[in-house]
Amino acid sequence: MPIKVEITVNGAPTSAEVEPRTLLVHYLREYLGLTGTHVGCDTTQCGACVVHADGRSIKSCTALAAQMNGAKITTIEGLAATHPDAEGLHPLQAAFRDCHGLQCGFCTPGMIMSGSALLLENADPTDHEIRDWLEGNICRCTGYHNIVRAVKAAASAMREPKDPRPQETAA
């Protein structure tokens, strides 16, 4: 029996009749065509599907669309609008590019959504805090080195928006 859900996604109201078992990630991808949120596993391990729900990062493969009725969801497509830099990117998006924090790009939306949620809670995270926070996001390409560098660089850029250069992290 389909049920109706109403979810605000990237600032816009959306609604659909969905099967009760529809996951939030499938709602975003299949109903709204927001394919930036990826499915990388089926055990809530990889984090490719991370979005923000009411300001906190969640794995959208482990939330039913029905559970999210009434929630405000931000996806990778809507992240920049929450904190645009001069280029119209979120500083963490720009930092991922500038620090080469991605290769194949598949884990990247989840990494950025997860990392940006960290920066909402902690404006100046240490390497250790970043690595600890990102433990639930798997990347097979980068070895995480440049991802950590990107989060540091974005944190710095968001604290001091005038100096967006990537900063080296201590070994």
Question: Toward other proteins, which CB reaches closer, 11 or 70?
Answer: 11
Question: Toward other proteins, which CB reaches closer, 68 or 116?
Answer: 116
CB of 73 to other proteins, least distance (A): 13
Contact 82, 74 (CB under 8 A): yes
CB of 142 to other proteins, least distance (A): 6
Question: Toward other proteins, which CB reaches closer, 70 or 81?
Answer: 81
CB of 28 to other proteins, least distance (A): 10
The alpha carbon of 130 is separated from its chain's Cα centroid by a whole number of angstroms, namely 14
Which positions lie near other proteins, rule CB under 8 A? 19, 21, 29, 33-43, 45-46, 48, 75-77, 80, 89, 93-94, 96-98, 100, 102-109, 112, 127, 130-132, 134-148, 169-171
CB of 72 to other proteins, least distance (A): 18
Question: Toward other proteins, which CB reaches closer, 68 or 74?
Answer: 74
